Amino acid sequence: MASRSFDIILASASVRRAKILRQMGVRYEIAKNTVDERHTRHESPQDYVLRLAREKAQQGLSILGPDMPVLGADTIVNLDRKIFGKPKTLKEATTMLGELSGRKHYVYSAVAIANGAAIEQRLAVSEVTFRDLDYKERLDYCNTGEPYGKAGGYAIQGLGAIFVRHISGSYSGVVGLPIYQTYELLKIFHVPVWKNKEYCLLSRGS
């Protein structure tokens, strides 16, 4: 029987999460999810993001079968008990960044792995402080197109890094997949790291 070229299913179309898994040397296959991401009224940020990660992993498992572990993840931004999703319009993006301007907010990044009847999950919480942002700066940033599809309307690994005065917690969690917590789960489910030879060779040559 031919061996598989991957060791885990990533239930996400996120380029950022895929890149982090490659960075860890994990061999994966992508499966998109269709989980309803609506927030329920009395759900805390922690419960909300953990539920979404869990449901993504479970949905992938129900579709693909129990023979391969499935990883689900989700990331949200929270300020003053308000959850910031992904802006869809220029107005939403500039308003969102205006609310974050000069303030400290929290980024909750959850990861779950399901395999058979077993499921485990972890949560990383990070504090991110923005410097003051004027309207023109927010508008110019939004016109780059980067805020769209990003929780909170910014990408810390991209141009949005110039807004960040301070971060405490998991940088990779703010990007979209907390490496330490993900590795803990990979160990539990015996998913090997450093096996993605293509990425490891690129890292060695850099």
CATH of range 8-205; options 3.90.950.10, 1.10.340.30, 2.40.110.10, 3.40.50.720: 3.90.950.10
Q: Per residue, what are the HEC states of the chain?
A: CCCCCCCEEECCCCHHHHHHHHHCCCCEEECCCCCCCCCCCCCCHHHHHHHHHHHHHHHHHHHHCCCCCEEEEEEEEEECCEEECCCCCHHHHHHHHHHHCCCEEEEEEEEEEEECCEEEEEEEEEEEEECCCCHHHHHHHHCCCCCCCCHHHCCCCCHHHHHEEEEECCHHHHHCCCHHHHHHHHHHCCCCCCCCHHHHHHHHHC
Active-site residue 74, yes or no? yes
pLDDT at 200: 47
pLDDT at 3: 58
Every domain of the chain and the residues it spans: 8-205
Residue among 36, 67, 74, 140 flagged as catalytic: 74
pLDDT at 196: 64
pLDDT 10s per residue in the chain (206 long)? 345 678 999 998 889 999 999 999 999 999 888 888 888 888 999 999 999 999 999 998 888 777 889 999 999 999 998 999 899 999 999 999 999 999 999 999 999 999 988 999 999 999 999 999 999 999 999 999 999 989 999 999 999 999 999 999 999 999 999 999 999 999 999 999 987 666 544 444 44
